[in-house]
Amino acid sequence: MKFYTKIHKFYCGIDLHARSMYLCILDQAGNTLVHRNIPANGERFLQAVENYREDLVVAVECMFTWYWLADLCRREGIRFVLGHALSMRAIHGGKAKNDKIDADKIARLLRSNMLPQSYVYPAEMRATRDLLRRRNHLVNKRAELLAHIQNTNSQYNLPEFGKKIARQSNRDGLSERFVDPCVQQSIELDMALIDTYDRQLSEIELYIVRTAKGHDANTFYRLRSIPGIGKILALVILYEIQDIHRFERVGNFLSYSRLIKCAKESAGKRYGTSGAKIGNVHLRWAFGEAACLFLRGNPEGQKLHQRLVKKHGKAKALSVLAQKLGRAVYFMLKRNQSFNMNKFLTS
């Protein structure tokens, strides 16, 4: 966990909401200079900090409304720090809690070099990353519709479809196998929605690929050199990492990707692991999928998997493979190299 440790003349903690923001500005001695609630408005914020902009740092807790404030601070040349929500225990663990107390705590954590940082994702690629995450959400909704058709088929104990109904050509006449008109209508509704999702997803994917090539085409194609990583997984890894150089060591990257577990120890005794929910869930999903797809049509990868199964067991083997892929991606991007199977198998 990184903490913000730079010294400034003034420290501003903000408890930020969708329509309001509570400001607390401290000086180096810890004296409270400003402590008031204002609308979540750029002009009002700049007016509130006008007298302290000479050497000011602003901190907010990471939540869905921080984008506009980070962009405003960047344009105005004000230092901006994003607090890691899960690690800011002092904010959520007090006896009393309100906006005034929270803003004061954020400012004092910032002043005492104890504010855990989260990454401020650059605005240039942020919207594309959010669109990609939205695309994954829509894919899950499409999968729910397919699952509903499968479940309805099982409800009436009808024969299996025999073909993958995810393909549009295999869904022709699907509703006719059900006798009840209401069930037919339900299935036709599901299929109509699936067709709509298919069209929209195709357009979104094409748009994101074109955008990604403009942002970082070299990284996109390097990621696709890994067996099992196709267009979508390469996009997810590219946009969730953004810049591999923000990770000093490979261990930092693996921890951020949730590919390793952190030990919980005290007085030489181990009490298990912790921090399972701290990290990037999208990267964990991408590397988990990549580990499974890495084995398809890849005899060398399958041999490696068998060795891992003998050593770690079947349940853990895929997790170890996902970690190896994460390590390979880190060094590939650091060194600007494509995937090397021989080096991967011997590492």
Look at residues 98, 118, 138 and tell me which one is the last residue of a structural domain: 118
Task: Give the pLDDT score at 91.
Answer: 67
Tally of structural domains, the chain = 3
* Whole-angstrom Cα Rg for the chain: 25
Q: Do both 296 and 261 map to the same domain?
A: yes
Looking at the fold, whether 341 and 236 belong to one and the same domain comes out as yes
At 90 the pLDDT is: 64
pLDDT mean values, one per 10 residues, the chain (347 residues): 92 97 96 96 97 96 94 97 84 80 94 93 96 97 97 95 92 93 97 97 97 96 96 98 96 95 82 82 96 95 95 93 97 96 90
Structure confidence at residue 144 (pLDDT): 98
CATH of the domain at 112: 3.30.420.40
Task: Let me know whether 238 and 326 are in one domain.
Answer: yes
What pLDDT shows up at residue 120?
Answer: 96
pTM: 0.92
Q: Can you spell out the DSSP letters for 94-133?
A: SSS--HHHHHHHHHHHHHTT--BEE----HHHHHHHHHHH
3-state SS assignment for residue 223: helix
> By residue range, what is the domain housing residue 152?
124-216
Q: CA-to-CA distance for 257 and 172, rounded, in angstroms?
A: 41
